[in-house]
Amino acid sequence: MTELGHEVHLVGNRMNPRAEEREGLNLYDVTTLETLTRIPVVRRARFGPAIAALADRLDIDLVHGHYMLPYGYWGSRAGRHPFVLSPWSRDVFIDAHERRQGRKRARAAIEAADYFVVNSQACAKASIELGADPEHMQEIIWYAETDRFGVQNRDPAFRSARGWPDDAQIVLSLRNFRPYTYVDVLVKAFAQLAPNFPKARLLLCARGGPERPAIEALIKDLGIGERVRIERAEIEDLPTYVASADMAVTIADSDSTPASLTEAMASRLPVVAAPTWSIDEWLEHGNGAEIVPVKDVDATATAIAKLLADPDLRARYGARNEEVVRAKLPAPGPLLESLYRELVAKHQAKRAA
């Protein structure tokens, strides 16, 4: 939206430390908006009013809450309109149902929203079940940057730079080390198939997560350290990482159109995936992917081995995936801009009336 010439103010409790990614944005730490938001426990009740005061001060036109919990809930407490809400993955599928307070806050956020931007049909259905109006809803994959991804980013020296042979077969995971991403299952599956595929290498690209120490210990215990690397791929380097791999694996049990999936598809990679929410909107078993049961080490190993052994199958799956993702993902900026303008105009007309 900033690149389209609009003024964007971002309020949150976690800020990207990379200056180049914050360029052009106006950032506000919600915990420092006022005196009471600095006080633990007390501040929870003050986030909404503090955001409202900031919005008044800035004379903003529209509020968009990304993630329903807690950010959408904070936005609902601000009482500003138009208010757009984006439920996303675990917050609508799990967090809104796990405890009474989660469901209460989810419903409050949904009741306050004027419009919903979702990232999958599954997300739309879950939002509607919580009370969202399907007539005021649009699917926009706002975080997709597939134009940056593609086979043109493949680096011929990628393998040698890591001490791997030039013909190494790279199995790539872009999931963070969290309990529900089951990177441990992937590591165990790789250890199982590794003796039969001496060229295979496992590359775990993650920005972090609480399970990392356990994953590192597992790799050591399985004796596959020389064939596995854990690396943090920065935003600008990620297209090269993805394009230089031979396949991608995503076997989380809770997902709604993950960016890592669309990026892998745009890079013409075949995929091994678990049948979680929305995956069937992008992949089919035997058509772009091998779909395996969640937490099934043997099935995951078999699927990866099948792709490693068949370069023609990998190429066929990859070509299909790129075609699908290019067709289904238009640039999100103009779509959001059009929606925002429509909502702002309707709100202004209503106020005038």
**For residue range 115-150, what is the model confidence (pLDDT) as tens digits?**
999 999 999 999 999 999 999 999 999 988 899 999
What integer pLDDT is reported at residue 100 of this predicted model? 76
Between 109 and 93, whose confidence is greater?
A: 109
- Going by the DSSP 8-state scheme, the letter that residue 72 receives in this structure is I
What integer pLDDT is reported at residue 345 of this predicted model? 97
**Encoding tokens for residue 56?**
């008044």
What integer pLDDT is reported at residue 51 of this predicted model? 97
**Arithmetic mean of pLDDT, 318-344:** 95
Read off the pLDDT band of 23 (50, 70, 90): confident
Between 41 and 204, whose confidence is greater?
A: 204
3-state secondary structure of 5: coil
What integer pLDDT is reported at residue 271 of this predicted model? 98
Read off the pLDDT band of 65 (50, 70, 90): very high
User: Is 220's pLDDT higher than 80?
Assistant: yes
- Long-range Cβ contacts of 105-110 (<8 Å, 24+ apart): 105/69, 105/70, 105/73, 106/68, 106/69, 106/73, 106/130, 107/131, 108/73, 108/76, 108/77, 109/65, 109/68, 109/69, 109/72, 109/73, 109/75, 109/76, 109/85, 110/68, 110/85
Domain range 9-144+331-352, CATH architecture: 3-Layer(aba) Sandwich (3.40)
What integer pLDDT is reported at residue 261 of this predicted model? 93
| CA 32/CA 47 separation, integer angstroms | 10
**Arithmetic mean of pLDDT, 209-237:** 94
Read off the pLDDT band of 99 (50, 70, 90): confident
Q: What percent of the chain has pLDDT over 90?
A: 80
Same fold, 9-144+331-352 and 146-328: yes
Read off the pLDDT band of 340 (50, 70, 90): very high
Q: What percent of the chain has pLDDT over 70?
A: 100
In the sheet with 169-173, reading across from the earlier edge strand, the strands are 228-231, 200-205, 169-173, 247-250, 271-273, 288-291, 284-285
The tens digit of pLDDT for each residue in 157-204 reads: 999 999 999 999 999 999 999 998 999 999 999 999 999 999 999 999
| Residue boundaries of the structural domains of the chain | 9-144+331-352, 146-328
What integer pLDDT is reported at residue 89 of this predicted model? 75
Look at the block and give the residue holding tokens 């596995």.
228
- The matching CATH number, chosen from 2.40.160.20, 3.20.20.70, 3.40.50.2000, 3.40.50.720, for 146-328 is 3.40.50.2000
What integer pLDDT is reported at residue 95 of this predicted model? 80
What integer pLDDT is reported at residue 153 of this predicted model? 97
- Best CA proximity match to 245, nearest among 224, 220, 225, 263: 263
Between 96 and 10, whose confidence is greater?
A: 10
User: Is 235's pLDDT higher than 90?
Assistant: no
User: Is 90's pLDDT higher than 80?
Assistant: no
Mean pLDDT score of the chain: 94
Read off the pLDDT band of 103 (50, 70, 90): confident
